[in-house]
Structure 1
């Protein structure tokens, strides 16, 4: 039977069902949703973004994101409120799907209001209500006079009449219980998570002063006009010295005619600084790939099924910032909070090599060896007496991360008045290193406190802890104590003379 080649009789347009609005933003966290709004501000040329978390009785009720970008006229505002509208993106834009504003907003609020002013245009306002939008996509056109008032408010905060103010009201997914302490704890946790997320996501833009972001938390109706607390950059590759002398190292993954660069990093062993850990989460949770698009971080760690996360691989991180990989090899989700690696890219990574022949799995083995060797050294150290009063909590914590403690006693480092020329004394029975209060000003010039002079006390703890770990002082211990008293007493006297006292 011969079939007719052209079997098309008509072409019709099938508009999306408005009910899809109910599922918009379901996968957005508060942090990723606000980051999506910041993306829009950056695409609009903003250099300042102010985020305002407004509360009633410590319950989050309204979120505002204000910027000093180029703003929108009526046509641009209508397009921005249209579901799935994709503007003409230019190279460097962070927008991608045309869903960001709506998905981010409706993932956490029931009412989205936009106030915007562009140069030479009448200020505009638009509002969409989730309940109405999910029926017929209707949008409210707001008073230009009120839009002008919001522009004046925005100028007081970010220094520009031109720009855009995004306002979420009827906020969902916030603490609604009656316990005041729980409400404050929830808000504090969300603030910390937001600051960490924005700090790492936009760390390159923040560090180069291309962007300033601040966050203000205040009661609705009482929010100050000025800026909030600035977001600081959190560099996930901000180590001072590489953990392995051969790294960072660039591997090349090839898929057909396309080459993608993978820059492999190994953090120093036993790192415990911001950048290795992010927010309240440990560095072990951030091993894996860091994928950048136009200096915006899209993925913060995770191996994307190319490797198995293990404690021994926690020092390994890989940068991928070849935007050509996004699309054919890596698929971005609408929330920009992670990417899916396509099978062809998995194969390319498995075959990736550096100029010296290092493969992806050689890199993982190198990272594991640094971690394992450091922990072997740790296990060879003998347990020590626990440091206690007089030593700063952060120092005690670090000592505990390096050494295990003997059960029972603890040693204190304290000040008391002693004769001139004496600097320290050892009280074995009281488990105390005594320092001469006469010389305290040399190490705590602004006035003493219980945990003052942390460097001095840490050094003395490391020098003396072993004499407290026996049941009594032996002859060798007594001789060492005499040596310390003699040398350190002379050093303190010399230091005092050098300071002109």
Structure 2
């Protein structure tokens, strides 16, 4: 045991700059973007432009431009200081003083910040990761360069005040030689960023307190590009609850502190954006949704207080209590999920709603709702497998809903048919033929192998049982004639209505 008389001296230990190398190691590209957006919001920005700039189809630079209040020279120096914790307000999203640096160095080696504040001289700062990890050095950039960045910002977000964050010398980019792979990487990266920001900031976007747009363009031409807005993805956007009496609020109590858990049950057999998030099926997003100042910190997951299962995929729980963070819940620097402290887990065991519903009963209700909604699925019979010509997402959903008889396969393709004939049946080759003449009506932006997914899905549902027999019977032939007549008239009417 150490007593006070044992202390002979107090020394101050400075952090080793080498810790920079470990900054942001848990950040994905999209979570790093969200962290930068947090900084913009703390600066009172209402519009943010994210610019993913390419050369030869490879991502080479990232810019995040906002119309916030900006920084003067002193504030810019503090923003570039590792671990500097300003006086955070109750509504601020910043927390650790690490976000800008950790997010940036997770995916780039050079961070540049340009900022302009009303009544102050525009400033520029640059940190090179190698230098920063050696001695925390930061470069101050010229007033002339900062003024030029201010003019550029005014064109991008219609306001000269604000901040521009630039990543260069990127480590996260496609580095192979395959151009198609590079373009696919860029497309997928944009979609990940778009969906992550859409769900993370969905409350602010829906209430029109925040506009985010994304530009993907060549580095030399992006100044004149117009961004595409990020749309809100609400993980609680169902029209009707999956179970009467829900959502309901269950209250967990520990000592004098209470935390409200708003428990939701989605309707069964749902597959819409909001239930499906980030391109992944809804069963991946059961669990807790934790908000802080309308920013979503955790997107699903039971955080070790319950087990994930297929039967619980309809259950989602909202915790929207800033006071719970730091006491019952601990946030990590990346703001990507929280740790549930033992006292909160214990409190859940005795948590109840006003009607006496416990957390365990909520989980049981979730499972029962899922089982009830899926009883009828057992009566469905497997169908012929849609293959060539059907979009992968359509094939996947048909398999999920109906099941496939994979010993048989059905193709669909466009070909030349007589005018006025929309489709034909090639029974011997198990192929559904659509008339090339009318392709432009259903794929106006140009044909591809998996185009017109709605039209093809409807045709599959109409005709799949025709191909599942061993031969065309009299009833099959009569149905084919009927469908040809009606669909032929319909497609000609469609063409006429469009004035073609």
Tell whether the structures are fold-level matches, with TM greater than 0.5: yes
In 2, Cα distance between equivalents of 1:235 and 1:242: 15
Instruction: Assess, with a 3 A threshold, how the Cα gap between structure 1 residues 466 and 23 changes in structure 2: closer, same or farther.
Output: closer
Check the 8 A contact 2:213/2:227 in 1, yes or no.
yes
Question: How far 1:458 sits from its partner (Å)?
Answer: 7.5
Instruction: Assess, with a 3 A threshold, how the Cα gap between structure 1 residues 149 and 469 changes in structure 2: closer, same or farther.
Output: closer
Question: How far 1:185 sits from its partner (Å)?
Answer: 2.4
The equivalent residue for 1:211 is 210
In 2, Cα distance between equivalents of 1:431 and 1:298: 49
How many residue pairs match? The answer is 490
Helix, strand or coil for the counterpart of 1:402?
Answer: helix
Question: How far 1:10 sits from its partner (Å)?
Answer: 4.7
RMSD: 4.1
Instruction: Assess, with a 3 A threshold, how the Cα gap between structure 1 residues 57 and 472 changes in structure 2: closer, same or farther.
Output: closer
Question: How far 1:416 sits from its partner (Å)?
Answer: 8.3
Check the 8 A contact 2:288/2:319 in 1, yes or no.
yes
Helix, strand or coil for the counterpart of 1:340?
Answer: strand
The equivalent residue for 1:339 is 338
- 27-36 or 67-76, which deviates more: 27-36
In 1, Cα distance between equivalents of 2:377 and 2:15: 61
The equivalent residue for 1:200 is 199
Q: Aligned pair 1:379/2:381, yes or no?
A: no
Check the 8 A contact 1:385/1:411 in 2, yes or no.
no
The equivalent residue for 1:143 is 142
Helix, strand or coil for the counterpart of 1:199?
Answer: helix
Instruction: Assess, with a 3 A threshold, how the Cα gap between structure 1 residues 63 and 424 changes in structure 2: closer, same or farther.
Output: closer
Instruction: Assess, with a 3 A threshold, how the Cα gap between structure 1 residues 413 and 253 changes in structure 2: closer, same or farther.
Output: same
In 2, Cα distance between equivalents of 1:222 and 1:430: 49
The equivalent residue for 1:408 is 408
The equivalent residue for 1:365 is 364
In 1, Cα distance between equivalents of 2:373 and 2:469: 28
Instruction: Assess, with a 3 A threshold, how the Cα gap between structure 1 residues 456 and 337 changes in structure 2: closer, same or farther.
Output: closer
Instruction: Assess, with a 3 A threshold, how the Cα gap between structure 1 residues 252 and 150 changes in structure 2: closer, same or farther.
Output: same
In 2, Cα distance between equivalents of 1:15 and 1:427: 77
In 2, Cα distance between equivalents of 1:129 and 1:430: 62
Instruction: Assess, with a 3 A threshold, how the Cα gap between structure 1 residues 391 and 192 changes in structure 2: closer, same or farther.
Output: closer
The 5-angstrom pairing of residues 39-438 of structure 1 reads: 39-384=38-383, 398-406=397-405, 407-408=407-408
Question: How far 1:122 sits from its partner (Å)?
Answer: 0.6
Instruction: Assess, with a 3 A threshold, how the Cα gap between structure 1 residues 473 and 344 changes in structure 2: closer, same or farther.
Output: same
Instruction: Assess, with a 3 A threshold, how the Cα gap between structure 1 residues 298 and 391 changes in structure 2: closer, same or farther.
Output: closer
Helix, strand or coil for the counterpart of 1:281?
Answer: coil
Check the 8 A contact 1:425/1:485 in 2, yes or no.
no
Check the 8 A contact 1:156/1:226 in 2, yes or no.
no
In 2, Cα distance between equivalents of 1:176 and 1:92: 40
- 272-281 or 163-172, which deviates more: 272-281
Check the 8 A contact 2:351/2:358 in 1, yes or no.
yes
- 242-251 or 396-405, which deviates more: 396-405
Instruction: Assess, with a 3 A threshold, how the Cα gap between structure 1 residues 432 and 342 changes in structure 2: closer, same or farther.
Output: closer
Helix, strand or coil for the counterpart of 2:223?
Answer: coil
Check the 8 A contact 2:45/2:69 in 1, yes or no.
yes
The 5-angstrom pairing of residues 443-462 of structure 1 reads: none
Helix, strand or coil for the counterpart of 2:353?
Answer: coil
- 62-71 or 131-140, which deviates more: 131-140
In 1, Cα distance between equivalents of 2:391 and 2:61: 40
Task: Write the deviation string for residues 245-296 of structure 1: whole angstroms up to 9, x where unpaired.
Answer: 2321211111111110111112222222211122232212111111110010
The equivalent residue for 1:32 is 31
Task: Write the deviation string for residues 321-368 of structure 1: whole angstroms up to 9, x where unpaired.
Answer: 111110011100000011111101111122221112211121112212
The unaligned stretches of length 5 or more in structure 2 are: none
- 153-162 or 262-271, which deviates more: 262-271
In 2, Cα distance between equivalents of 1:433 and 1:26: 50
Question: How far 1:456 sits from its partner (Å)?
Answer: 9.6
Helix, strand or coil for the counterpart of 2:215?
Answer: strand
Question: How far 1:4 sits from its partner (Å)?
Answer: 7.9
Instruction: Assess, with a 3 A threshold, how the Cα gap between structure 1 residues 26 and 456 changes in structure 2: closer, same or farther.
Output: closer
- 376-385 or 321-330, which deviates more: 376-385
Instruction: Assess, with a 3 A threshold, how the Cα gap between structure 1 residues 166 and 433 changes in structure 2: closer, same or farther.
Output: closer
In 1, Cα distance between equivalents of 2:27 and 2:467: 55
Instruction: Assess, with a 3 A threshold, how the Cα gap between structure 1 residues 467 and 219 changes in structure 2: closer, same or farther.
Output: closer
Helix, strand or coil for the counterpart of 2:374?
Answer: helix
- 115-124 or 423-432, which deviates more: 423-432
In 1, Cα distance between equivalents of 2:274 and 2:263: 16
